[in-house]
Amino acid sequence: MKPNILRISLNGLTSLGNDRVKMKRKKAVRLVTVFSLIAILTNLAGFKLVFSATGSVGVKPGDMMIHDLLFEGIPPPVYADFIFREVLSVDGTWIKLNYTAFLSNKTIDTKIVEGDLMEGPEYIFPVIIPSNLEVGDEIYSEALEKLGIKGGRIIVKGERTAEVKLGGGGHERTFVRTLIYSEFSYGTPPWPSANVTAEWDKTTGILAYMYSRQRDFNLTVKLVETNAITENVGSSFLPDYRLIVALATLGLLTALVTYSIFKSQGKRKRGK
């Protein structure tokens, strides 16, 4: 009887040992899962911070845009009726444009302008800003600083999905787009000389609409034509690169955990 009792005891200890190993393995898997989720959330937050801080260029060489300007009240002596811009080159965040303004006195003002898009250079800002900005992100411009806006920065205050209508003369096109917007004022308190509301296409960073209420006149700037907007994006699913990175990270961590578990099992079997 004693050998049987000993055998039963050994089996019990082996079973108990296996149960403890399984419990430790489960705890390890839980810990790895928790750390994986933390890593994914950190990854997403990190991408958001980097993306907001650096911005990106949403236009490419060959992209053109035409903006119509409508003055109400007493406009300046000479003003632009509409302005044509074409992107000539993009090098990192450095952008070069062909700028052509058709003026009210029947003359044309044309020039080549260039600058760092992240600095909001004159003749480029506010028509083109960094693309894919989020609510709460800041937009910097040298022009804003010259107007007396503290730090030359305004904040993206909201985002909405809206129709952008382009073309005319029987070639009208309507696209559903995601727009970001900002509101700001400049001038000498207590009465600012201008109150401005502006909306940009989020994907390209192109100005879609701007309304400026000034002392002597009101100005409406509207995007009437561009070849940079060719599809609906506001209502369709677009893959988020941050989500792709997060899923890839989770898949890699899962594979590593699975591999380590099977590897440890193999060592124990060889040890027996």
Strand positions, DSSP E, the chain:
64-73, 80-91, 94-103, 108-116, 138-140, 153-155, 158-166, 173-186, 194-201, 207-214, 217-226
**What pLDDT is attached to residue 55?**
66
The predicted pLDDT at position 20 comes to: 56
Query: Which residues of the chain are modeled with pLDDT < 70?
Result: 1-55, 189-191, 234-247, 256-272
The pLDDT value recorded for residue 13 is 45
- Domain boundaries, given as residue ranges, for the chain: 2-53+239-271, 57-226
Residue type, 56: S
pLDDT digits (tens, 9 = 90+) for 206-260: 999 999 998 889 999 999 999 999 999 854 444 444 555 566 777 777 776 666 6
Question: Within its chain, how far is the Cα of 32 from the centroid?
Answer: 31
Pairing of strands 194-201, 207-214: antiparallel
200, with CB counted inside 10 A (0-12, 13-18, 19+), is buried
Q: What are the distances in angstroms from CA 33 to CA 27, 252, 256, 264?
A: 10, 12, 12, 18
Q: How many residues does the chain have?
A: 272
